[in-house]
A and B are shown apart, each in its own frame.
Chain A
Amino acid sequence: MRISVDLNRCQGYGQCCFADPSVFKLRGEEVLEFDPAPGDEHRLKVIRAAKACPVQAIYIGESYEEQEERSHRHE
């Protein structure tokens, strides 16, 4: 799992920080720091964060390795 946050869209509502405080942290009033590569045990919490974001700025995707592995399996 990899996540991306569009920090231009993000307005610092901090909803994501409530869903997973170890992945999303507001520093100061508005600076969002996040871990783009949380472990799989965070999956459910990260989904909660993404769904709770009022401006839908959080995207959940895959890593390069996950995609490469899949494409090799298909070959």
Chain B
Amino acid sequence: MTQKSKIDFKQILDHSHIANPYPLYAQFRETPVALQEDGSYLVSTYNEVVSLLHDPRISSDMRKSDAQKRFMQQAKQKREEMIAQGQQVEEPEEIVPAFIFQDPPNHDRLRRIVTSQLTPERVENMSSHIEQIVKEHLDKHAQGGQIDIVDDLAYPLPVTVICQLLGVPREDEAQFHAWAEPLASVLDPGQVQTEEQQKQIMQAGRQMREYMGQLLQKLKAQPGDNLLSGMMAADDIDGAMSPRELISTAVLLLIAGHETTVNLITNGTLAMLRSPELLERLRQDPELIITYVEELLRYDPPVHFRTRTALADIQIAGTTIPQGATIILVLASGSHDGQRFERSEELIPDRQGNEHLGFGSGLHYCVGAPLARVEAHIALGEISRRLIEPKLALDPPPYRDNAALRGPRHLPVNFKGLRS
């Protein structure tokens, strides 16, 4: 029996829940799989989320969803009408979807090429750079006063890191910072965008793809020891990356690793400044950062939900999700499921057996997880160790509008100075 529940996904998008959406998720979990007004299905319990992430009957390719098909049909009709009326209409730019929006076998091919280049050695080599970058940003505040963890540290760090890894010249990095934010909202399915914002996103996307195209040309002539050169040269039994695939992959690596990492570092700082005891434990026991970061990915994760499409009718938790339906997997709710995690609403920095969904699960499991972990270990480790008497200047801090990639817009912290 499918039941239209009172559970309304749109509540997630309501800004009033953004600072603390977890009580809402607890309500969601009373109906593990809930049909929404628009025909989509909201999945909120751990077992159901995990089982769907591993289910061959779901797709990450939005082009396969009924909603997207309807949308494309309407857009096409509208264009045709405009043409019939004699208006000038721009042909839509044909974009190869990045592999996060693709299914096997093509997803697997592109992902294999990325992972063949994003090696343990490459990540290991980045870690001293990361230490250096974190140190430079913190050292600017040696006198104490106020630091905005977002603008002054968490925001610049991942872009600098991914640019270095990809092989983007230092002097071009500033442009990336400008493109990253509008593009990150592409990963937020629930977001309603104004026409102005849409234009911004399209423009940032176009500019970045253009830039990447040129950079790839340069690297082709003069390859370096970096991810882009490696991906360009990499062969795969099912075929190398085409130039267009290279571009969409490079753009994905930038945006997927950007706001997510910012949020992890910011949420991690927020939680430790809310609990003096936790901060003290982290100072006393530097190893605790390892489990603390995993617990953050469970307790206050950067990515709250992802969508999929059913390729066949799927029976789950007493409901049948019909073929073509959009499925909203609320990862953050699954990670708070009391059936799966003891004391699920508590932050336990040394939690054992933490199979959280912070990086997803199954074949789209985060490619950048090892890099994100290194960045978070170093940044949060240094923040806890070096800031003298840090205090939140605002609690709760202001949040960004994005409910899928959720995190504070600013996190001002007052402190008395830095330890060396």
Contacts and interface: CB of A to CB of B under 8 A. Distances in A.
Q: Do chains A and B touch in the complex (CB under 8 A)?
A: yes
Interface of A: 13-15, 17-19, 21, 29, 44, 47-48, 51-52, 54-56
Nearest to B118: A18
A55 B290 contact: no
Interface string B284-306: 00010011001000000000000
Contact of B369 (A15, A48, A56): A15
A54 B120 contact: no
Nearest to A48: B290
Interface residues of B, number: 19
Given A18-B370, A56-B353, A56-B355, A51 B124 contact: no
B27 to A, nearest CB: 27
* Main secondary structure on A side of the interface with B: helix
B123 A51 contact: no
- Identify the 4 closest CB pairs spanning chains A and B, nearest first: A18-B370, A21-B120, A18-B120, A51-B290
B287 A44 contact: yes
B115 A14 contact: yes
A15 B354 contact: no
Contact of B359 (A19, A44, A47, A54): A54
Given A55-B355, A56-B355, A15 B370 contact: yes
Contacts of A55: 355
Interface string B37-70: 0000000000000000000000000000000000
Nearest to B121: A21
Contacts of A29: 112
A51 B353 CA distance: 8
Interface in B327-386: 353-355, 359, 361, 365, 369-370, 373
A26 B112 CA distance: 13
A19 B112 CA distance: 20
A63 B115 CA distance: 34
A44 B287 CA distance: 8
Contact of B354 (A17, A18, A51): A51
B369 A52 contact: yes
A13 B354 CA distance: 16
Interface in B81-121: 112, 115, 120-121
A13 to B, nearest CB: 6
Interface in B118-154: 120-121, 123-124
A35 B359 CA distance: 26
Nearest to A55: B355
Contacts of B359: 54
A29 to B, nearest CB: 7
Contacts of B294: 51-52
